[in-house]
Structure 1
Amino acid sequence: MAGRWRGVLPPGCGPRRLQGPPAGAEKKGGGGAVESFPADATWIWSDGSAEEGVHRGGGGALIVTHDGATREVRVAAGRLCSSTRAELFALRAALEDLTSTPDRDTARPIIICLDSKAALALLKNGPAAQRTPVAADIWKALQGISATGQPIQLQWVPAHCGLPLNERADGLAKEASALPQEDTPIDVTTVTRAAARSASARWREAWPDGWHKEIWGSRLPGPVEGEDRCSAIDVHQLRAGHWSCSEQYLHRIGRRPSPGCEQCGSVRCPAALCRVCREEADTPRHVLLRCPALAGRRLARVGTIHPTVTELQDDGVVAALAAGFRAQLSRLATPP
């Protein structure tokens, strides 16, 4: 188990610049910022890899000197490891390789390119804020280089956007993940996150089969976006299969007793019939996928009167159909 970094580094002598992603960089492809740097710099392209984001970490880096010479760096990052931690391992190994080179040229700048926003954000907090040995080691290496007067810049680049050297670093990281991992210490944060992720996955896999799982599989839905609170409640209840506007649901929980049936869960009970079309029980499946009164709404929202269950992952679709059903009920309640 890796120890927790206890030291405090002086905050005053960091690298010249750490540059995060500018607005819209993902859409532009990331080439503009890279092309603006001097061609005669020493370049470090680093990347990290972890299977399923948590297993068999590997860090890879490509060092390109001003004369075009290249060196490849591969390092195991731990049997349990996040991709961010793997990228930090790659950067530390690259800096160690660079600074251990005898008679290296310190006059030309060093440009370090990473495609991990999380790693760059962690380093941007400064040396005194680092709480892991790997991040502290990186800052010590950066400070050592800066002390010689050599300019350094850490630059974010988007992943898989056609930058050949970044793709090579990605390949090196994947190769490094196959290296022996036994001797690489694992930090407490990684162990905790891996345990939480594993527990969450087992819990989601144990969900019983049903309407909610049919829509989402083993995914957890996020908050409803772009709708008011009442509409968001409708969306969540319809996806969960327990809608407070459904006659079938209200009858099932005893809130809509009928003369012939106090309470039951049968979808064939007359008390459960859809008040709009009277064809079948107004279950969420009926309301969202089959009710003929909402065929026009379904056609307008998804381009067909027979949408698929996966299309119900769209908040706007479910909210529109819920609003349409409520509008139909309102017309029925309004005397002619």
Structure 2
Amino acid sequence: MPHPAEREELGVVRLVNLDDVNSNSEFDVRIFTDGSKIGGGVGASLSIWKGETETKAHKLALSKYCTVYQAELLALCKATREAKKYAEKSFGIYSDSMAALQTVQNHSCLHPLAVEARENLKAMSLQGKVVTLHWIKAHAGLEGNERADELAKGAAAGSKRKPDYDQCPVSFVKRSIRTSTLDEWNRRYKSGETASITKLFFPDAVKAYRMTKKFTPTNLKTQLMTGHGGFSEYLNRFKCKESPSCICDIKNRLRSAQQEQHEVLPKQQQGTPEPPEPQGAPQKQTEASLHHVDHVDGRDTAPGNTSEVSLL
């Protein structure tokens, strides 16, 4: 990294519309850059113009795991390499990636492509060349930018040669580690004998990983989805409650018992008239029945004492 006193300040000119582009196109050489990722492939491109004519075009292939950001940076770096080869004195480099331009502009960023691009720009400055970086709006109908976009897509879709750039991005490494970790977690999760309640809600650990990002967990949600909480069954396992049934289960059982009792009760208790007792029934049977009732009620009444029995 150069000493701060030796750093050359790099500016980026924003071109919003066609008028801005026309007023910033008076350069000996104009270089349009672009990056693309399509169909699983990644490509970058340069379109070099002198006046109104394209004089040279470059297609650059990147490894499939590379990002569009890397493709845009590679295109900018390649543009500075090409500009060093020309004898002309003024150059305009155009890109529709503000992130890539700001990376080149920021001296604190140590990305290898950005560092090389800054070194090339400094070398051209020492040669007396003037290089201006421009941001242009993508797909705005600008001929040079549309041409670079076409070349980048062609490089991403149709290139079968050895990649011009194959450095693995940190994001790809992180994603690969996360994917392999989730797969192993899911394998252990499905083959394990625990978490039976949780598996009712989340049968797949990978899908659960994505779903849990969409809601905020609370203590109640956690208890419900794990079965570890103030539930009768859970408390009964640890001898904190006598019965594993919850109150709603007890009510259902009582309701069921009442229904069964209703079905087996004698018909006379369900509204059916009791048949008349035959005349001439022995008086002793009646008195014995009354004595049995008194005994069950906790009294020992004489069989003939009907006045006390009538109070029951």
Which TM-score bucket, shorter chain as reference?
0.5 to 0.7
Deviation (angstroms), 1:17 = 1.9
Based on CA coordinates, which of the two structures has the bigger radius of gyration?
A: 2
Q: Residues of 2 paired with 1:160 and 1:263: CA distance?
A: 67
**Partners of 1:158 and 1:204 in 2: CA distance:** 39
Counterpart residue number, 2:12: 18
The Cα offsets for residues 125-156 of structure 1, whole Å up to 9 and x where unpaired, read as: 22xx4534432321122112222443322223
The answer to whether the 8 A contact 1:48-1:90 is kept is: yes
1:145 equivalenced with 2:121 (yes/no): no
| Residue 186 of structure 1 pairs with residue 166 of structure 2 | yes
- Aligned letter for 2:25? A
* Selected match of 2:244 from 245, 262, 265: 262
Q: 1:217 to 1:90 in 2, by over 3 A?
A: same
2:220 counterpart residue number: 244
Q: What letter matches 2:88 in structure 1?
A: D
Classify the secondary structure of the residue corresponding to 1:244. helix
Give ranges in structure 1 of 5+ residues lacking alignment: 1-7, 225-234, 272-336
Partner amino acid, structure 2, of 1:236: T
Counterpart amino acid of residue 159 in structure 2: L
| Residue in 1 that maps onto 2:133 | 154
Trace 1:264-303 onto structure 2 (pairs within 5 A).
270=248
Q: How many residues align?
A: 226
Task: Judge conservation of contact 2:11–2:105 (CA < 8 Å) in 1.
Answer: no
Distance 1:148 1:56, change over 3 A: same
Contact 1:46 1:114 in 2 (8 A): yes
Shift of 1:15: 6.2
Aligned partners of 2:32 and 2:145 also within 8 Å: yes
Other-structure match for 1:286: none
Query: 1:146-194 CA deviation, whole Å, 9 max, x = no partner?
Result: 224433222233434544432322221222234345464533xx25432
User: Is residue 102 of structure 2 the alignment partner of residue 121 of structure 1?
Assistant: yes
**Aligned AA (2:171):** R
Separation in structure 2 between the aligned mates of residue 13 and residue 254 of structure 1, nearest angstrom: 62
Structure 2 residue aligned with 1:195: 173
What are the equivalent positions in structure 2 for 1:107-118 lying under 5 Å apart?
108=90, 110-118=91-99
Amino acid at match of 1:159: A
TM-score normalized by structure 1? 0.52
TM normalised by structure 2 equals 0.55
Partner of 2:51: 66
In the superposition, relative to structure 1, how do residues 263 and 48 fare at CA in structure 2: closer, same or farther (>3 Å)?
Answer: farther
> For residues 17-38 of structure 1, what are the alpha-carbon distances to aligned partners after superposition, in whole Å with 9 as ceiling and x for unaligned?
234x6xxx9xxxx326843643
Offset at residue 60 of structure 1 (A): 0.6
1:90 maps to which residue? 75
In 2, Cα distance between equivalents of 1:117 and 1:130: 15
Q: CA deviation at 1:220?
A: 4.3
Deviation at 1:256, TM superposition (A): 4.1
Say whether residues 1:39 and 2:17 are aligned partners.
Answer: no
Q: Distance between the aligned counterparts of 1:61 and 1:217, measured in 2?
A: 42
How far does residue 195 in structure 1 lie from its aligned partner after superposition?
2.4
Aligned with 1:75: secondary structure?
A: strand
Change (3 A) 1:69 1:212: same
8 A contact 1:75–1:93 mirrored in 2: no
Query: Which secondary structure state, in structure 1, belongs to the residue aligned with residue 51 of structure 2?
Result: coil
Q: For the aligned residues, what is the CA RMSD?
A: 4.3
Task: Give the counterpart letter for 1:47 in structure 2.
Answer: D
CA distance in 1, matches of 2:162, 2:170: 19
> Which is helix-richer, 1 or 2?
2
For residues 125 and 251 of structure 1, the distance between their equivalents in structure 2, rounded to whole angstroms, comes to: 49
